[in-house]
Amino acid sequence: RVGIDMNTIASSLQPTERYGLHFRETIDPYYSAHFLEQQNQQQNEQNQLQEEEDEWWDVEEIEAAKAEEEKRAMDEGDLLATNPHPTELLKQRELYLRERSSIRSAKLQRKLTGENWTAKTDGVTQLPFWYNTDTGEALWDKPAVLLRLEQLATAEAEGWGAVPLAPLTRVMSFLSPHPERITCASVSRHWRSAATDINFVKHVFPVEMGAMSMDKSKLDVNHFTCIQDAIKSALHGDTIELGDGHYWINDDVLVVDKPLKIVGDEHDPAHVVLEFSGTIVWRAAGWMEGISIRRPRMASSNKSGDGGERRKEILRIEKGGKFDMAHCVLDNEGGEGHVVVLRGGKGQWEDVAVKGGSGKGGCGIILENNGYLNLTECRVGGNTSAGILCRQRSMIKISDSDVEKNKGLAMIFQDESCGELEKTRFFKNEGGIIVMDK
């Protein structure tokens, strides 16, 4: 015989083996997962075929029913348009546009009036929240539109003193900082908040933030890459804010002839540094806080083109100027000349360090031409000549300050100048303390 002899194989099996073969062939298929899955698949295929046979549609019957339904609708007036006449299309289009416009208008009105927001309670946390019936949006906090409406109602009830901050700030933006905005700030605390809004402040980027490579045309409003541009753009009474970092000013003279306020880091002036090789000439009222002004370390040459010495003070306050400072450092080390010169100007300084007057006769502070200066908790020292020189009927008032480590006299008074000292400390001044020179 050719092939497998099943009887021979069956006779050679042990009883247990024969039972196992019988179980696998006759019993196990009815209980295995593979067999049951295969049976279910076959049953599903048969059911699907049966459903498809049951769903055969009679197209002619459907068309007849459709025609009958349309005839009934036309007879009863329920059908809006079935093969309308061309003359009626414009009317139907007008009706559609009118209805769409009405729906949009109602939705916009609900958005502006806040009627689309309703208060609900969360089913899980039992906390109240706000739900927008038009957009499906949900918020825990009260929607902004409802807050604005409440502010408007308060303003209508209480008057101008309760005008919402946003529109009040917008109105303030059309006013000049000085004197109009300052006058408005005195009306109430609310008006002061609007008049001193942060958006009115001019910001200057330091070198560390890439100011040298920024595209000026892409900057936001009231943002600048250098102090010169900020001063040029500023109006009378504006505030210029300097962030932490360094600012390079290469101009020989920087003239400020408008009232300005320049602020840096009031906690540590070392964080805001102006590297300036020239002179700041102040001819108007002004305020500076939290800024260090010093000579650039790389500017080692102090010679003019003709070989003579180039003498420059860091700050010069001219007649008519009133320049107040707090928490500042004026350091002329590396330069040549005095640190500060007041030529008929005035100032009131608190916690200001003046040092580095260098070269022949380099003083810390010079007051002349009826200049006036009030120093409180200040430090004047490290100058090659006198710490403070008053002449031409100038006056200085010093309290709780230090005049120290000057190579010349601590103070010199000339030309009927005078001073008032209170709790002022003098030490390590090589030339002495005070000289009255007529």
pLDDT tens by residue, 376-390: 999 999 999 999 999
Kindly tell me if the per-residue pLDDT of 27 is higher than 70.
Answer: no
The string of DSSP codes covering 16-83 is HHHHHHHIIIIIGGGT-HHHHHHHHHHHHHHHHHHHHHHT---HHHHHHHHHHHHHHHHHHT--S-SS
Among the ranges given (8-22, 250-264, 392-406), the one the predictor scored with the smallest mean pLDDT: 8-22
Q: What is the pLDDT of residue 311?
A: 61
For residue 276, the SS3 value is strand
Average pLDDT over residues 201-214: 92
Residue 160 exposed, middle or buried by CB count within 10 Å (0-12, 13-18, 19+): exposed
Burial of 215 (0-12, 13-18, 19+ CB in 10 A): exposed
Asked whether the predicted pLDDT for residue 119 surpasses 80, the reply is yes
Taking alpha carbons only, the member of 425, 396, 391, 395 closest to residue 410 is 425
pLDDT tens digit string along 270-323?
999 999 989 999 999 999 999 999 998 655 444 444 444 456 899 999 999 999
Q: Is the overall model pTM greater than 0.75, yes or no?
A: no
- Distance of alpha carbon 101 from alpha carbon 121, whole angstroms: 33
Residue 10 has a pLDDT of: 77
Helix ranges (H only) for 219-307 are 227-233
Across the chain, what does the average pLDDT equal? 87
Residues in the chain, how many?
A: 438
> What per-residue confidence (pLDDT) applies to 361?
83
Instruction: For residue range 344-355, list pLDDT tens digits in order.
Output: 999 999 999 999
Q: What's the rounded mean pLDDT across residues 101-125? A: 92
Query: How distant, in Å, are the alpha carbons of 102, 237, 319, 373, 394 from that of 344?
Result: 72, 22, 4, 10, 8
Cα(394)–Cα(424) distance, integer angstroms: 19
Q: Percent of the chain at pLDDT above 70?
A: 89
Query: What is the predicted pLDDT for the residue at 2?
Result: 54
What is each CA distance from 310 to 113, 276, 277, in whole angstroms? 69, 15, 11
How far is residue 356's CA from residue 382's CA, in Å, rounded to a whole number? 6
pLDDT, average across residues 146-160: 89
- Residues 359 and 385: beta-carbon distance below 8 Å: no
Would you say residue 108 has pLDDT above 90? yes
- Residues 359-397, buried b or exposed e (16+ Cβ, 10 A)? bebbbbbbbbebbbbbbbebbbbbbbbbbbbbbeebbbb
pLDDT of 86 reads 67
Residue 426 pLDDT > 90: yes
**Which of 6-10, 30-34, 174-178, 192-196 is predicted least confidently?**
30-34
pLDDT bucket at 24, cuts 50 / 70 / 90: confident
Give the Cα separation of 354 and 388 in Å (integer).
Answer: 10
Report the pLDDT averaged over residues 332-357.
94
Q: Specify the DSSP element, H or E, that contains 153.
A: helix 144-158
CA pair distance 122, 128, nearest whole angstrom: 6
Structure tokens at 336: 């040549």
Amino acid at 65: A
CA dihedral 63, 68, 70, 76 (to 10 degrees): -170
Dist CA 291 CA 280 (whole Å): 14
**What is the C-alpha to C-alpha distance for residues 166 and 378, in angstroms, rounded to an integer?**
41
Question: Which amino acid would we find at residue 200?
Answer: F
